[in-house]
Each structure stands twice: as structure tokens, then as C-alpha cells.
Amino acid sequence: MRFWSKIFITKYEIVVAICDEELIDQEIKSKRFEVKVSKGFYGEKLIDELTAVKVMGVATIGNLFGKNIVKLAAEHGFISRENVLLVKRIPHAQFVKRT
């Protein structure tokens, strides 16, 4: 599995945006949400599963879109399944880590 990923570094945060490879540049619309999985936000670098776990490990904030990345994040304890939103049956999750 591969994912698109982009890291944003601010003064206080390391924000990572990761989506499933096949979702890049798609517009996903439901009755309640409309999401553009843009290359500008998610698409800096194509990464594998191991790299995705490492990147989430150093991030303080994560924005995840797609069944594979959300599943991987849940398996590694970054998110809880009950906090996942579905947009047209595609999982979306965010996490915030505080120390």
C-alpha cells in the first residue's frame, strides 16, 4: 500500500496529511460533507506503510483520508475507530497528540 503525504511544520506543531494513493485529486461529496482530496494538501510525497507509521509517530496533528490509512492509524493506536467519520463511505479521521 502507498499513500500521499505532506508535512506542515509550524512554530508549535508538526501537522501531517495522509491519504490513500487512489484518492488524490478526487472530490468526494455526501449530503453533509464535500471534501477535495487535493494534491496541494496531501500530495507532496508518495510513501509506504512503514513511512506512514513513522510520520504519524512524530506528528502532533494528523489529517487522514481513506480506508487504508485510517485502518493503519487505528492499528497503531493513533486514532480510535469510534471517532472516524465517513464521507461517501470513505473513512476520514484526525488526531491531536499532546505531551
C-alpha cell of 4?
Answer: 500521499
**Does residue 99 register a pLDDT over 80?**
no
pLDDT higher than 80, residue 11: yes
pLDDT in tens, 44-80: 999 999 999 999 999 999 999 999 999 999 999 999 9
Do 61 and 95 contact (CB within 8 A), yes or no?
A: yes
Residue 77 confidence (pLDDT)? 95
**Average pLDDT over all residues of the chain:** 94
Confidence band, pLDDT 50/70/90 cuts, at residue 98 = confident
Q: State the average pLDDT over residues 10-28.
A: 96
Please give the CATH number for the structural domain made up of 2-96: 3.30.1860.10
What mean pLDDT is predicted for residues 92-97? 95
Which residue, among 99, 81, 90, 98, has the nearest Cα to 33 in the 3D structure?
90
> What pTM was estimated for this model as a whole?
0.93
% of residues, the chain, pLDDT over 70: 99
- Domain limits of the chain? 2-96
- Annotate 25-54 with b (16+ C-beta within 10 A) or e (fewer): ebebeeeeeebebbeebbbeeebeeeebee
